Amino acid sequence: MKVVRLATTPSTQEVARDLPAGSVVVTDHQSAGRGRLGRTWETPPGTALLASFVLPARPLASLAAGVAVAHACGPRARLKWPNDAMLGGAKLAGILAELHGDRVVVGIGINLSWAPPGAAMLGAGTDRDALLERLAAELERWFAAPDAEVLAAWRERADTLGRTVSVELPGERFQGLAEDVADDGSLIVAGRTVAAGDVIHLR
């Protein structure tokens, strides 16, 4: 991986989108970090791993990235659909996968020494460069893995499956048991296929 390091930037996603596959942009601080669906990603300077990896596009890119993050963060990290990494039931890391032609820019924010109220962090003692290296290796591994392996690995780390969840869709909300992920990465809740949206773990 070719690493581009920046002291500060509005968002590593914007820098990475112009780079070739095999690049990664890392920064200490983002002034306009982005989440999904126009939401913001907040981290005080120097308290998180903030990186955007440019990878070849593949099906299930978002789930593959989630599996890679969970593996890089350790055995206790779990996954909330579609791809939040969780620690002890709280959000540890967020992933934003954006498709640009034949490349996908995978933005990853992992809390290390700070987290907003109710969220989790990996700990101030975490070696950020070692974590970046583990992340790069895991992404390479899971982006090369067959779909069936990605799905199996996702299920193994899933915190969402087997729970009652609330599904938030544009203009609709319903509750039900999160039964499985479908072959295309959709979540199956009470027999309904949810391709995009947010879920809230109820119990």
Please report, as ranges, the residues that interact with ligand BT5 according to CB under 6 A: 11-13, 30, 33-37, 39, 41-43, 50-52, 84, 91, 94-96, 107-109, 111, 115-116, 119
Q: How far is the CB of 107 from ligand BT5 (least distance, A)?
A: 3
The smaller minimum CB distance to ligand BT5, of residues 57 and 149, is found at 57
Dihedral of CA 49/60/168/155: which sign? negative
The smaller minimum CB distance to ligand BT5, of residues 9 and 143, is found at 9
CA angle centred on 181, ends 179 and 182, rounded to 5°: 115
**CA end-to-end span of the chain, whole Å?**
40
Q: How far is the CB of 88 from ligand BT5 (least distance, A)?
A: 13
- 179: closest CA among 192, 198, 196? 192
The smaller minimum CB distance to ligand BT5, of residues 41 and 154, is found at 41
- Which residue has 């069936």 as its token pair? 148
Q: How far is the CB of 148 from ligand BT5 (least distance, A)?
A: 26
Q: How far is the CB of 146 from ligand BT5 (least distance, A)?
A: 26
Q: How far apart are CA 186 and CA 195, in angstroms?
A: 4
- Give the nearest residue (CB) to ligand BT5: 94
The smaller minimum CB distance to ligand BT5, of residues 14 and 180, is found at 14
Look up residue 22 and give its DSSP letter.
Answer: T
Q: How far apart are CA 3 and CA 143, in angstroms?
A: 18
